[in-house]
Structure 1
Amino acid sequence: MTKSIQVTNPATGELIREIPADTEEEIHQALKRGHEYFQEWRKVNAHERSRLLKAWSEKIQNNKETIAEVMTLESGKPIQESLGEVNYATSYIDWYAEEAKRLYGRTIPAASETKRIIVSKQPVGLVAAITPWNFPAAMMTRKAAPALAAGCTFIVKPAEETPLTTMKFIELAYEVGIPESAVQVVNGRGSDVGPLFTASDFVRKITFTGSTPVGKSLIKNSADTVKHVSMELGGHAPLIVAADADIDVAVDQTIASKFRNAGQTCICANRVIVHDSIAEEFAKKLTEKVKRLKVGNGLEKDTQVGPVINEKGYDKIVSQINDAIDQGAEVLCGNQYHADKEQGYFFVYPTVLQNVDVGMKIMHEETFGPVIPITLFKEIDKAVEIANSTPFGLAAYFFTNNYKVGAYLHDYLDFGVIGWNDGAPSAAHAPFGGMKESGLGREGGVEGIEPYLETKYLSVGL
């Protein structure tokens, strides 16, 4: 196991902080503490758990600027996006602070006068979470908040690239009185910590946001102890622009979806599928606006697109762009870079490609970068065919003012999250999750607390 983790600024390559990685024994002891304290935490009444969660949210908001700066330093995202993520993160805490008091059971009419049937809910136990670097605050709270609200204890391993935001959140949880054994953080490489989580008899649930290959491995390794699993995995989101769409709305929402966090989100538009009758106008208006996006260090307040997180991500983006160009795609803007592998910073300027076809890598691989490939369609069923031609099914978007077309697309797009004339559909009060190889379970909404609960059935003889 690695002994330490170096956290660097992806905009400059500079070392921010070096933190110790937890040893195997330290992780085992943390899991043991969480498992043992579960028997105490589950007894805390729902109103008290709700109060503590609300206090945690308020404490985070009181430290919002400091947290946002840390987030930008370690992730590279623009400071305004970091501030927005703090709000997004606390929205999950606020929502589940209320849901803690809504964990209702029910009675069922019995088929006999001498029986009563009662159904109740109880927490699953210790929950182990593994979270990604791109949303270090929100991806943690939308797991921790429902777990703690349900009466579970919780332990999280944040991404090696961005552990500092999570560590600050956990520190603030302790300051408002959430017990240290109820919510914990451990640090280390995913390849080291993941197997410890899945093999542990103390852990009753694994929740993960990240790549599909890693998610599949966690599911397989959790089978030996039959753990509950929730998986929010990879995506390859299509964005369909129908012939009758409001082009200005479609352009603005495409930019909002695609370039948040430099295109490094699981639900950003990866394939833009435009009706050929409006393709020229759409591409022209899109390119004009994309060219005006400000690229730079996320700490500069006017920055709209920050750096790519690391060399691996950078190489993948460049490879996809070059493959598309080699096969005939035309660059409308972008295909420019500011990177230094020795210094450790990687900027890709927002890029728009047209004349893209389904044979290119960018149409089959999740990009995770600021690149828009445009492909065309004539019939709406062909657009659906292109959109669904992927093993992934996390998010999709479409733009139309025709309710019949909209209803058709809603019915036949195989994706768990869909935006209709909306490039930013995520919300704490709505269920988020994917179909097919994009995951299992939902986060957010009333559905988001169910994976942290067991259903117990009691039959009473009178």
Structure 2
Amino acid sequence: MELLNFINGKNYIAGNWVEVVDQLSVINPATGETIATVPNLTEELVLATIDNSITGFNIWSQMTVEQRSKILRSWHQLVLKHIAELAYIVTIENGKILEDAKREILYGAAFIEWFTDIMTQVSGTIVQGNNFRHKVITEYEPVGLVAAITPWNFPSAMVARKLAPALAAGCSVILKPSSLTPLSALALVKLAADAGLPPGVVNVITGDSNKIGKIITQDFRIRKLSFTGSTEVGKKLYQDCAGTIKRLSLELGGNAPFIIFADADLEKTAADLITAKIRSGGQSCVSPNRIFIEEIIYDQFIEILVSKFASLKVGNGIESTSDIGPLINAKAVEKILDLLSESTNSGAKIICGGKALKNFLDPTIVIDCNEEMKIFHTEIFGPVIACYKFKTIEQVIELANKTEYGLQAYIYSSKLETIHKMSAQLDFGMVSVNSPLPANAKAAFAGRKASGFGIEGSRDGIYEYLNTKYVNLTI
């Protein structure tokens, strides 16, 4: 518990571990116990952090690619070395089961490794202009100081997914993790500092989200904001950044359709659906939210699904016997129970689960849902499988696209013609075919519509943190 003990009660600002009198409690959702505290920073300290981050940018952006790459590689190695403790921290502050937390650490580490390689491949171009003396030069420069706001559902991976490309591009970063799960961010940055990251390049601040958000959006020195979280908050940040014309990346909510055709392998499909659904206890923006099942196999598939899903055990994520951990807090449980109540009052049926104890919700299947129900339009964010029937491919395309969100969609079919038509007509930034876990550092994670904009991961991800400069040179 070396990392946890070291970061307890502190923020990381200008290379120093800062403590203040006013502290916020971090609660284990499985037990309700306080596991640590973090500072509730004053406005003066937040503004001082911005000053220090500008100094950090001036140092980091002037280092060579080789110098920055060496530090990031060392950081990646330290993350892998400390995977057990990092996963433990994720579990006790977020609740997800320990094996899931370990996968999260590896997922986040993959972004550090990926962008450490990609940063060496960024290069400008020189082409001849109007005559032999005229050169058109394109260069890429770091955008400047970046603010990153990360969510509670992937408290480690989302930090790595934002920091890695920003640092690879030469930016400095002010990181504001969720107040519900700030420890993973602090632990990761502690390892980055141990790897040799210069003071002021990454600063971690905690405290009142509204107060900090107002400062971040209104300060012109912060040239980019990357946010992962709810669409409601994303809209507010979008508006608030207008005054300072910031670059933005917004990874917001989802309402993922999971579409099952009669020709799919039903046993595998059911297993894959559960794998995708219980990741982070269903608290994921890419979690299957609306399960569309072709009518002729509806009853058969439901029977297979119940036999697998109902047997999963809910419990403390630290316990090896647990398949699903708690939800993040009581408010999250209450929201889902309200959705289930509204659905059943409108004609849906709960055929397994549906009960909650404190922050724990039994794995739940609700059938005979329809598009008039609130659950159809709402991101569930829990271990609930809501099932819908469809008859034709045209009908399911219309139903799947009938949402303001456009992040992730899933298709299960053995027919290439069906796969091609569905993937072409689904209005989502990411489409996964016959696979439950599409996330990959090498892939472009990007939504559309109310799911936001901007790319995380892939070769394109680093350009979110780079400005393009054109130099018109006549010799």
> TM-score over 0.5 for the alignment?
yes
Matches within 5 A, 1:229-248: 229-248=248-267
Q: Indicate the residue corresponding to 2:138 in structure 1.
A: 119
Q: Indicate the residue corresponding to 2:388 in structure 1.
A: 375
What's the secondary structure of 2:241's corresponding residue? helix
Matches within 5 A, 1:317-356: 317-339=336-358, 346-356=359-369
| Contact 1:130/1:158, CA 8 A, preserved across alignment | yes
Structure 1 Cα separation of the partners of residues 378 and 97 of structure 2? 25
Structure 1 position 216, deviation (Å): 1.0
Residues 1:284 and 2:303 aligned together: yes
Q: Which of 34, 40, 44 is residue 53 of structure 2 equivalent to?
A: 34
1:159-178 Cα distance to aligned partner (Å, 9 max, x none): 01100111011111111110
Structure 1 position 113, deviation (Å): 2.6
Residues 1:49 and 2:62 aligned together: no
Structure 1 position 3, deviation (Å): 3.7
Structure 1 position 157, deviation (Å): 0.5
Q: Aligned letter for 2:171? A: C
Structure 2 Cα separation of the partners of residues 357 and 367 of structure 1? 15
Structure 2 Cα separation of the partners of residues 6 and 374 of structure 1? 38
Structure 1 Cα separation of the partners of residues 38 and 128 of structure 2? 57
1:95-126 Cα distance to aligned partner (Å, 9 max, x none): 01111101111123312233011101010000
What's the secondary structure of 1:277's corresponding residue? helix
Q: Which of 153, 156, 160 is residue 172 of structure 2 equivalent to?
A: 153
Structure 1 Cα separation of the partners of residues 56 and 360 of structure 2? 45
1:427-449 Cα distance to aligned partner (Å, 9 max, x none): 00110010111011110010111
Q: Indicate the residue corresponding to 2:469 in structure 1.
A: 456
| Contact 1:384/1:412, CA 8 A, preserved across alignment | yes
| Contact 1:47/1:100, CA 8 A, preserved across alignment | no
Q: Which of 85, 91, 104 is residue 104 of structure 2 equivalent to?
A: 85
Q: Aligned letter for 1:276? A: E
Structure 2 Cα separation of the partners of residues 39 and 417 of structure 1? 37
Q: Indicate the residue corresponding to 1:8 in structure 2.
A: 27
Runs of 4+ that moved beyond 3 A: none
Structure 2 Cα separation of the partners of residues 389 and 174 of structure 1? 46
| Contact 2:333/2:356, CA 8 A, preserved across alignment | no
Residues 1:224 and 2:243 aligned together: yes
Q: Indicate the residue corresponding to 2:182 in structure 1.
A: 163
TM-score, with structure 2 as normaliser:
0.94
Count of paired positions: 456
Q: Aligned letter for 2:44? A: E
Q: Indicate the residue corresponding to 2:403 in structure 1.
A: 390
Q: Indicate the residue corresponding to 2:445 in structure 1.
A: 432
Residues 1:366 and 2:384 aligned together: no
1:171-204 Cα distance to aligned partner (Å, 9 max, x none): 1111111012111100013212111111112201
Structure 1 position 47, deviation (Å): 1.3
Structure 1 Cα separation of the partners of residues 454 and 66 of structure 2? 26
Structure 1 Cα separation of the partners of residues 321 and 285 of structure 2? 24
Q: Aligned letter for 2:264? A: A
1:388-437 Cα distance to aligned partner (Å, 9 max, x none): 00000010101011001000111000111111001100000110010111
Structure 1 position 41, deviation (Å): 0.9
Structure 1 position 334, deviation (Å): 0.6
Q: Indicate the residue corresponding to 1:343 in structure 2.
A: none
Q: Indicate the residue corresponding to 2:454 in structure 1.
A: 441
Q: Which of 43, 60, 63 is residue 82 of structure 2 equivalent to?
A: 63
Q: Which of 223, 242, 247 is residue 204 of structure 1 equivalent to?
A: 223
**Which segment drifts farther, 266-275 or 105-114?**
105-114
Q: Indicate the residue corresponding to 1:172 in structure 2.
A: 191
Structure 1 unaligned runs (5+)?
340-345
Structure 1 position 315, deviation (Å): 1.0
1:285-340 Cα distance to aligned partner (Å, 9 max, x none): 0111001111100000121101010122111100011111111111121112112x
Structure 2 unaligned runs (5+)?
1-20
Structure 2 Cα separation of the partners of residues 64 and 92 of structure 1? 15
Q: CA RMSD in A?
A: 1.2
| Contact 1:10/1:76, CA 8 A, preserved across alignment | yes
| Contact 1:134/1:265, CA 8 A, preserved across alignment | yes
Residues 1:94 and 2:113 aligned together: yes
| Contact 2:155/2:184, CA 8 A, preserved across alignment | yes
Q: Indicate the residue corresponding to 2:417 in structure 1.
A: 404
Structure 1 position 254, deviation (Å): 0.6
Q: Aligned letter for 1:50? A: S
| Contact 1:157/1:185, CA 8 A, preserved across alignment | yes
What's the secondary structure of 2:296's corresponding residue? coil
| Contact 2:254/2:406, CA 8 A, preserved across alignment | yes
1:213-243 Cα distance to aligned partner (Å, 9 max, x none): 1111111111111110000000010100012
Structure 1 Cα separation of the partners of residues 346 and 244 of structure 2? 48
Q: Aligned letter for 2:113? A: D
1:64-103 Cα distance to aligned partner (Å, 9 max, x none): 1111111100000000011111111100000011111011
Identity of aligned residues (%): 38
Structure 1 Cα separation of the partners of residues 115 and 173 of structure 2? 15
1:353-389 Cα distance to aligned partner (Å, 9 max, x none): 1111111111011111111110000001111111100
